[in-house]
Structure 1
Amino acid sequence: MSLIKKTVAYLCVVSLLFFGAVSLVTGEEQPSEVSDRFSDDQADRAIEYKINSYTSPEPNNSAAIAPREIPSGFELAGQTDSLELYIGEQMQSFMIKNKRTGYVWSSVPDEKWLKEEKLNEEWGSAVRSPFLLEYFDQNAMLKRGSYRSLGATTESMVPVPGGMKAVYAIESLGIKFSMEVKLENDSLVVRFADQDIVENGSGKLASIQPLPFFGAVRNNEIPGYMFIPDGSGALIRFQATHPRYDQAYEGRVYGMDYAIEYSDLWAVNEQPILMPVFGLTHGVKQNSFLGIIEDGKYSARINAYPSGVNTGFYWVSPKFMLRYPYFQRTSKNMGGFNTFQANRNQEDRQVRYLFQSGQDADYVGMAKAYRSYLNERGAISPKQGSDGNIPLNLEMLGADKEPGIIGNRIIKMTSFDEAEKIVDDLRGRGIDNLSVVFTGWGKGGQNGSNPDKFPVGKELGGEKGLVELKNRLADKGVPLFLYNDYTNAYGSNGNFRPNADGIRTAGNEVLQETYYLWVDQESSSDLTVYFINPKVASSIAAKDAERFGKMGMDSVAIGKTGRLLLSDHHPQKRLSRKQSAEEYAKLAGALREKLDNVGFYTPNEYLWPYTTQMFEMPMYSSQYMFATDTVPFLQIVLHGSVDYFAPPANYNANPKEYLLRMVEYGAYPSFKVTSEPSWKLKYTLSNYMFTSYYEDWKEEIVSTYERMNEALRQVQDATIEQRNMLDWGVVEVVYSNGVKIIVNYRTKDVQYENRTVPGMDFILAGGE
């Protein structure tokens, strides 16, 4: 893609952030009262508080939701201390009863709603089915159906511990597969064993959606919302009146697989999905569940349908992808044909449902449940000993290259000596906890010759200068992270062979992208970017770790490799997305074994166990039309376990509002700077760094840090336990150590427990 597209997309996002806003919702105890409510002052009711980059106050719906009756045809199939599982005829429907509250969750909507909805035959069958399917017919056409519409039968049912396993047969397609539904450790588990899939007919499975209408709600017959892990997190509230949406939400867990799904690689503004989770609430503070995709997550999607797309129901479910369609080229002039993967992704598929009730029945309770789940499995662990000032992330660009009359020339932006001067200047201004990431340190600068990084750029001070910088910063207690990328290769550098070592698409083409300068559409070949096979990347990282160790370098920061997950269809080196993720985990493990610190930019959940710091974590959702709220689900999961930094503050269009969001989300500040003025990058691929000059930003860096340190230094090791929306634009965040941070995004002052929270400001309460 052209760099101009990339830059325009980036600027669009920045512009959207100008209109961004805040989030809040009720917590475990009664939220504090706030006076000066908007209802009495329409002039202060700014429209930005009501858009979906904020969180809405919860409506006053205190009436308890009556539980459904379990029909006589359902049989008890399993139970735990808190749950009972009931199965309908031929395992076509399921009900879960919470023994403590009496509330009942069902895989089929209430019969009264079904009669009122007057669905057509296709959707009338779908809402009563235990699964939805997509399949390819003999003409490679993708078709859809359900248990009922496809004329499926339940061939057999056998008991398993805690539940039942059924084998479903679709005779017309020659397809059979099993679905296991059981209770396990006070959760509901739905599992598909890959070894039980039989495809002996004309149909080839493309996807399976289990229990698609589990907990579905018609319009707003029950108050509540769906949760989707879009960016920091988003809600889709149940509403009586709404637009008739054209599309549902279909989120790709861990992003798009460009090796098999076509897209302009950079023309995507949507926020990433870093976690394989989703959720649904029936009455805030009454009943909710969190779904966690455990197996098959690397090729899974999360589908959330708002009322108005095909039916009047809100419903959310996982979608397991078994095969993908693709275009097979047969000539250079784009001739070819549509086909699909001959071999399905061979892995088991499993989703686990965790249920919440009472004060934990909302998205905060879901996030806390997921946090506990990850802690139990060692993916994250509580931090301890962070009793000083908060960290500040400073990313410095060493150099990049620009095209010259003969070849390229290096544009030096920050030498190693200049980097130390910047650090010393900030330390002299009172910032003593710095985390420095140095990019563009190798030959050719930031967009030089990856994966061949060495020698260290002589324009910056060479390897000797880099080692001296690391040692001098270490003496000051400042870690120096060297930026590395194990995803992209620039041309055929460092013995990288695109045909052998690069990722292949499903059509057996080498996956590549070309970066263009604004002024140079005829880019030189070294700006052609290939994608490194994950096994090759793991080998490169292991060698790098050895060399870094010999140099005395102890910290690295990994770029795209943390969030971009691709399959590889090379005939001799095939890798599924699961296998690629496993290779990246090996890569991260090898680095952690040799180095003290491994930071990742926007890492997917499978890399969290290896991550000591997280950079550029999402602070917003994608703000789709059907999403009603943005929430910090991701931050509630992570706070108190790992240091995470917001995207650079000097690239946000509304720094004052952004500071408040960082404070509210518990995210530490970061800045991207250079010692030389930004205009020198005009003819480089780093020209998106249009405001990086340190001299322009040093005062802002210090003032931002001081304000944020005032708020967050007391809660560095604490977890977020409540997030209460007190009014439009006023939020209370409650931490496990009793500290409360009250953020007021409004322009007017508000009163909180006999204290004033100034407009566009925050205060602290509680704690020691």
Structure 2
Amino acid sequence: MSRLRTKRWILLALLAAAAFTSITLWAVAAPSEEPQLEAEQTQTQDQAQVQQEQQEQNREETNTKADQAAEPAESGQVEDRAVQQPAQAPDQGAGKGTRATPLPGADVFQAIAASDRLELKADPSTGHFIVTDKINGSTWRSFPNPEGWSDTTTDAWKLHLQSPFMLRYVEFNVRKDLEKESNFIAQNGKVTSFNKTEDGFRVVYELPELGFVIPVQVRLKDDYVETRIIQEGLIDEKAVGKSADSAKDPKARLVSIRLFPFLGSETSDQENGFLLIPDGPGALIDFKKDQPDLINFYNERIYGEDWAYSYNSSFSNRQAVKMPVFGIKSGQQAVLGILQEGAEYASVYAVPSKSFSQYNWVTPEHHYRFKFFQPTDTRRNGGFFTYSQDLIQGDRATRYYFLSGGNPDYVDLAVRYRMYLTEEAGVKPLKDDRKAVPLHLNLLGADTEKGFLWDSYLPLTTTDQAKKIVRELSSLGVEQMSIAYMGWQKGGYSEYGGHFPIAGGLGGNDGMRTFVDYAHSKGFPVYLDASSYSFNNTGRDGFRKSRDGLRDLSSAVIDFRNKVMNITLVSPKFTEKIIKEDLEDAKRLNVDGYLFGEAIGSFINSDYNDNYPVMRQESRQVQEDILRTAKEKLGSVMVSEGNFYTARYADHLDQMYSDYSYDMFVDRIVPFAQIALHGLVSYSHSYANLSGDYVNNYLKGIEYGAEPSFLITYAPSQDLMKSKSLNIFYSTSYKDWTEEMVSLYQHYNDALAGVRDQFIVGHRELAEGVFETEYSNGRRIVVNYNEVPYTGGGISVKANDFIATGGE
């Protein structure tokens, strides 16, 4: 089990326990008889009644607009000019064997831009566009494939499918806690201007009934199209005069937008496709014709929840999204989506066919406001839910990379993402002369033992004992190690704040410096765990929670309480100040760097503390500045459970996901993240001695190109039961694991020595439970997870084992 993830979920559990009611972040009132998109939402009876009334009120409007949408609209000219016409998509014309649909016909699209490989055409009356591969004729549409159109689709979803965007909004003067979902056509939207640009077009949408104006830009580059919701000119407020009618203004405000949500969407008729979602290392939802008619979907915030909106709200039980990507493959073509700007305020939304329509689709959802609980008393027992008043600023840009020819799969999508990381995101290829794979040794130093009258220091691995462990492992053949010291701060693992000087019970500064020098004599780097800077429960470092704690939107400090201690989430800018002050102390110990995690690279929060105000995007920038500065001062950094923006700074990613969240509609887990990163940044999965399935964890590491990792103590495992919080680590004694550590290290090197700086270029399932990974130097590794041997393709692999060939 991940040490950092465990700590985080303990805190989240405490937060959830403090809430008197559980209400999800999304409370969606759909404008039709369709089931609500958020199936896990819990509503009060009053909410359900209001929703029913809204549905009844809107049903007639929806049906009327669906009839209007079937009527042809006049196609505009492509000249740069204003287009004043309602959103009424034309019928698909006859020809090429397609049947009539209310989706744009080929005759309304005009040539807009072209690159060496792609051509972009657009419909000025709707802003919909088509991208064509000039080499092989592959076509991608910003709307569903007309060949899959079905009249069995409900009227509400017909409007969604035709529209260039869907949106959610809240009416503050009606129900300030309740969203409504709609779309461009259902709102009688208009294209008020359409202008060609040098490499694409700009279109301005207006929703007169709501008073919204949404400017959008579409640009064509060599192998991708970038869509952008432009902040400048975006209006989400209806102009209301001082007349009597102003009292009836519902005060509609924008909550979120899904722009061109059905780009690349297809039905499951051919069953040769999948949706790629960023769950765990990557997961696929296969196209299936015989899929049951159930409401299944994936909707997760990129980089996880924002705790500034968390009080009294339930958190997702899925793994947090670490990479801002998604994808869809159908037949001989595929699309990789990458959130270029605004990922901090976006979700990935993926829906298999038969959930809401006949189409499989995946899209980003861009958020502009968030739901939160506003207390009305000092104890935070009474209050109400509402949405943030201010519109979150900034452009929202998504890139769609188009792949075609051959039979592109998740490997091709991951390879293109790797190119993006090196060409656009500043991640440099790994340059490492070491051929051996290092053992990542995480030493748990100390904690605080809860006493009857007073607490006492609980040493678990002193610096002298750490030296003994490293000496013994080295003598047994472990040639390469990377060492991270955890629980080194005053009071040990359970206490946050006041890290330096290192406690005398652990060895003090002199003991740590002596240990670091010894490790260096062996060629092993040493890191200090710095995830504990994210919290404070001691008041050290001059911390006062009323002044320096992170505050949510209701201005309350995010504070946790369990049976033995208070824990406060620290303002990001205060964290930055303390870390930068402590870097000089760390440098004097000769350590090679910090191991970051938690709120420094693993999750992002807004902060409404007036002393240190930051929005979520600024909070990410603070994190990156911390990583950059630490690397400059100390020479290296590692990140645990790191978001992908940390890859440009990190020399290693610890605790990288190797498993998914076990949604029933997910069909396959794939090493998308590992394929994208291998050869750029080394990584390790969960600690081998704390994993639920030791053999499976070991084999998954071999298959995914990871490096072995252990969390150990010199003290017996039962000593951890004396601590405040370490009883979650059930088997850490190095004496119990020495033989396994040496054996595992040797197995990993048998498989992966010589490929640390190589790219993964192939991955496939040879048979059920048998997988092959191929590297750019020709190395091939076949892993057999079955209880019986595997023979095929001229190779034999024992049960629960692997074989490696080539690439010598």
The amino acid that maps onto 2:300 is G
Find the partner of 1:582 among 601, 614, 621.
621
Deviation at 1:667, TM superposition (A): 0.4
**Unmatched runs of 5 consecutive residues or more in structure 2:** 14-96, 239-250
Higher deviation after alignment, 329-338 or 718-727: 329-338
| 1:21-76 Cα deviation digits (max 9, x unpaired) | xxxxxxxxxxxxxxxxxxxxxxxxxxxxxxxxxxxxxxxxxxxxx99997111111
Please state whether the residue corresponding to 1:714 is helix, strand or coil. coil
The amino acid that maps onto 2:714 is S
Deviation at 1:91, TM superposition (A): 2.9
Say if 2:635 is the partner of 1:596: yes
Deviation at 1:311, TM superposition (A): 1.8
Instruction: State how far apart, in whole Å, the 1-side matches of 2:316 and 2:475 are.
Output: 41
The amino acid that maps onto 2:276 is F
The amino acid that maps onto 1:542 is K
Please state whether the residue corresponding to 2:125 is helix, strand or coil. helix
Please state whether the residue corresponding to 1:458 is helix, strand or coil. coil
Percent of pairs identical after alignment? 32
| 1:152-206 Cα deviation digits (max 9, x unpaired) | 1111111112211111111111111101112023310101111121133222111
Say if 2:170 is the partner of 1:121: no
Instruction: State how far apart, in whole Å, the 2-side matches of 1:508 and 1:467 are.
Output: 43
1:147-226 correspondence runs (5 A): 147-201=184-238, 202-221=251-270, 223-226=272-275
Deviation at 1:595, TM superposition (A): 0.5
Instruction: State how far apart, in whole Å, the 1-side matches of 2:9 and 2:225 are.
Output: 45
Q: Which residue of 2 aligns with 1:626?
A: 665
Question: Is the contact made by 1:623 and 1:630 (CA closer than 8 Å) also made in structure 2?
Answer: no
Q: Which residue of 1 aligns with 2:497?
A: 451
1:323-472 correspondence runs (5 A): 323-331=369-377, 332=379, 334-359=381-406, 361-377=408-424, 379-448=426-495, 450-472=496-518
Deviation at 1:88, TM superposition (A): 2.1
Question: Is the contact made by 2:551 and 2:608 (CA closer than 8 Å) also made in structure 1?
Answer: yes
Deviation at 1:406, TM superposition (A): 1.9
The amino acid that maps onto 1:563 is S
Q: Which residue of 1 aligns with 2:695?
A: 656
Say if 2:647 is the partner of 1:608: yes
Deviation at 1:578, TM superposition (A): 0.4
Instruction: State how far apart, in whole Å, the 2-side matches of 1:231 and 1:190 are.
Output: 26
Say if 2:786 is the partner of 1:737: no
Find the partner of 1:273 among 313, 318, 321.
321
Deviation at 1:99, TM superposition (A): 1.0
Say if 2:288 is the partner of 1:251: no
Please state whether the residue corresponding to 2:620 is helix, strand or coil. helix
Deviation at 1:93, TM superposition (A): 2.1
Instruction: State how far apart, in whole Å, the 1-side matches of 2:754 and 2:611 are.
Output: 54
Q: Which residue of 2 aligns with 1:706?
A: 746
| 1:438-497 Cα deviation digits (max 9, x unpaired) | 11112101112x221122111111111111111111111111111112311124222112
Distance 1:113 1:349, change over 3 A: same
TM-score w.r.t. the length of structure 1 is 0.88
Q: Which residue of 2 aligns with 1:498?
A: 545
Find the partner of 1:96 among 131, 139, 151.
131
Please state whether the residue corresponding to 2:580 is helix, strand or coil. helix
Deviation at 1:614, TM superposition (A): 1.1
Instruction: State how far apart, in whole Å, the 1-side matches of 2:12 and 2:611 are.
Output: 39
Deviation at 1:360, TM superposition (A): 6.5
Find the partner of 2:797 among 741, 757, 764.
757
Please state whether the residue corresponding to 2:227 is helix, strand or coil. strand
Instruction: State how far apart, in whole Å, the 2-side matches of 1:555 and 1:5 are.
Output: 26
Say if 2:335 is the partner of 1:289: yes
Question: Is the contact made by 1:280 and 1:289 (CA closer than 8 Å) also made in structure 2?
Answer: yes
| 1:566-613 Cα deviation digits (max 9, x unpaired) | 001124532111000000111111101100221110111222111111
Question: Is the contact made by 1:396 and 1:674 (CA closer than 8 Å) also made in structure 2?
Answer: yes
Deviation at 1:762, TM superposition (A): 1.2
Instruction: State how far apart, in whole Å, the 1-side matches of 2:758 and 2:687 are.
Output: 24
Q: How many residues get paired?
A: 699
Instruction: State how far apart, in whole Å, the 2-side matches of 1:727 and 1:232 are.
Output: 21
Say if 2:602 is the partner of 1:568: no
Deviation at 1:113, TM superposition (A): 2.6
The amino acid that maps onto 1:732 is E
Please state whether the residue corresponding to 1:556 is helix, strand or coil. strand
Question: Is the contact made by 1:235 and 1:627 (CA closer than 8 Å) also made in structure 2?
Answer: yes
Instruction: State how far apart, in whole Å, the 1-side matches of 2:348 and 2:604 are.
Output: 17
Instruction: State how far apart, in whole Å, the 2-side matches of 1:505 and 1:333 are.
Output: 13
Instruction: State how far apart, in whole Å, the 2-side matches of 1:613 and 1:269 are.
Output: 26
The amino acid that maps onto 1:187 is Y
The RMSD of aligned alpha carbons is: 2.3
Instruction: State how far apart, in whole Å, the 2-side matches of 1:397 and 1:767 are.
Output: 37
Which of 1 and 2 has higher RCO (CA within 8 Å, sep 6+)? 1
Distance 1:200 1:654, change over 3 A: closer
Question: Is the contact made by 1:93 and 1:128 (CA closer than 8 Å) also made in structure 2?
Answer: no
Q: Which residue of 1 aligns with 2:69?
A: none
The amino acid that maps onto 2:484 is V
The amino acid that maps onto 1:124 is K
The amino acid that maps onto 1:499 is S
Question: Is the contact made by 2:271 and 2:288 (CA closer than 8 Å) also made in structure 1?
Answer: no
| 1:704-762 Cα deviation digits (max 9, x unpaired) | 11111100002111100011221111111111001111111122222243232222111
Say if 2:580 is the partner of 1:532: no
Please state whether the residue corresponding to 2:310 is helix, strand or coil. coil
Say if 2:112 is the partner of 1:77: yes
Question: Is the contact made by 2:264 and 2:361 (CA closer than 8 Å) also made in structure 1?
Answer: yes
Instruction: State how far apart, in whole Å, the 1-side matches of 2:6 and 2:706 are.
Output: 32
Question: Is the contact made by 2:500 and 2:582 (CA closer than 8 Å) also made in structure 1?
Answer: no
Instruction: State how far apart, in whole Å, the 1-side matches of 2:494 and 2:367 are.
Output: 35
Deviation at 1:222, TM superposition (A): 5.0
Deviation at 1:660, TM superposition (A): 1.1
Deviation at 1:2, TM superposition (A): 11
Question: Is the contact made by 1:107 and 1:215 (CA closer than 8 Å) also made in structure 2?
Answer: yes
Deviation at 1:550, TM superposition (A): 2.8
Distance 1:335 1:653, change over 3 A: closer
Please state whether the residue corresponding to 1:724 is helix, strand or coil. strand
Instruction: State how far apart, in whole Å, the 1-side matches of 2:718 and 2:632 are.
Output: 40
| 1:503-525 Cα deviation digits (max 9, x unpaired) | 111111101222x3xxxx3x2xx
Say if 2:755 is the partner of 1:718: no
The amino acid that maps onto 1:198 is I
Question: Is the contact made by 1:7 and 1:688 (CA closer than 8 Å) also made in structure 2?
Answer: no
Please state whether the residue corresponding to 2:560 is helix, strand or coil. strand
Question: Is the contact made by 1:599 and 1:611 (CA closer than 8 Å) also made in structure 2?
Answer: yes
1:469-484 correspondence runs (5 A): 469-484=515-530
Please state whether the residue corresponding to 2:753 is helix, strand or coil. helix
Q: Which residue of 2 aligns with 1:56?
A: none
Distance 1:528 1:583, change over 3 A: same
